[in-house]
Structure 1
């Protein structure tokens, strides 16, 4: 199997534990206009999607549009909550420092949100192969565009890229780009049985703590395990 030339990480749910914050705010905001007891059915399996697509699903399901200004207010409140509450995924900085591969980030989030996440996680200097947002490509995940852009920007063949993803949406995008994928299950929002869904999709392996990542990358790359960072 081809060796790995580029490591690409998703942002939300991989670098920072933000999905749980955004999901909570989305549910609370939608519950002001739609029956709260039916929202679970609407929102099931939607994490990883852009909020605009989730809102379209809700509007279609309930048959009435959200009020003017809802989207702007939702985004502003979510961003404020994330900036005040969010924490890095435990161990992510040490894990990525221990891996001697170029690192890119490819996210469905807005570019300024990704840049904030890198600062919060202490990873600005480590991400040496570019930051890519859905804002910069034609289609967001689950389309492969943002992952293909990351590979192109780094001069890497998609088949020699390894992606770390937490969502079905993101894993679908990376697999469609022809990349190898690891599924991270350690963020707060991951539902029961999610790892099996990722494996059935085509993810090579799943893991639950970032301390496992350097060994996994080394194994997939046919290399000895890296030394822990000093």
Structure 2
């Protein structure tokens, strides 16, 4: 039996394969203001960040003042892109279906985005009433607040929970909150998570075995 009593999943890149799509929209917006960057740059610098931080990075790159409604523009464009193509991360449906522990999702994105993407990927029924958004707290990863909120609401202490993350900011947030964190490295070509996460894995099919191997 696993020593963990609850699993807290990140959303983008862990449950749904949304990051290349959302980051490409950010890259396109940045390039419209003269950033001259590509998706690889975006995946390295924007992945796991909340919009305000991404906007500041774009402003720093372009040395231009960006419009106040840029997030609204980004949300419209990204939601349109998600509706054209959104899939669950390969293997995660089997993980959730066979997980004999309570679980939830804690994400830096707004709740509307979390629900949209989980719904498009066919995962929303698994997470009804178990969605935690940084926007509700106005505190974003690497601040651990969203994970602490999720754990408390689910009825567990941080040391009883496992966080599953795919970004540096998410892993740092989990560690700062006193959680064990498994880093999903399918989109981590430079192995940045390996030295920070409790464990890392590259195939979602391996997650259940890793959880079950953590004996109390």
1:144-223 to 2 correspondence within 5 Å? 144-186=144-186, 190-194=187-191, 197-201=192-196, 203-222=197-216
Matches of 1:17 and 1:165, distance apart in 2: 13
- Structure 2: 5+ residue stretches without partners: none
- Structure 1 position 130 matched with structure 2 position 130: yes
8 Å CA contact retained: 2:23, 2:46? no
- Structure 1 position 64 matched with structure 2 position 58: no
- List per-residue Cα deviations over 1:177-223 (Å, max 9, x = no partner): 1001111123xxx24113xx21212x12111221111111100145x
8 Å CA contact retained: 1:171, 1:198? yes
Count, aligned residues: 215
- List per-residue Cα deviations over 1:38-77 (Å, max 9, x = no partner): 9976874331001221111221343221245333212210
Q: Identify the range of structure 1 (66-75 vs 40-49) with the bigger mean alpha-carbon deviation.
A: 40-49
- Structure 1 position 84 matched with structure 2 position 84: yes
TM-score where L is the length of structure 1: 0.85
Q: SS of the counterpart of 1:65?
A: coil
8 Å CA contact retained: 2:88, 2:123? no
8 Å CA contact retained: 2:33, 2:62? no
- Structure 1 position 110 matched with structure 2 position 104: no
CA gap of 1:19–1:159, structure 2 versus 1, over 3 A, is: same
TM-score where L is the length of structure 2: 0.90
8 Å CA contact retained: 1:175, 1:181? yes
Q: SS of the counterpart of 2:45?
A: coil
Superposed CA RMSD in Å reads 2.2
- List per-residue Cα deviations over 1:71-103 (Å, max 9, x = no partner): 321221011111221111011111111110001
| 1:99 alignment partner in structure 2 | 99
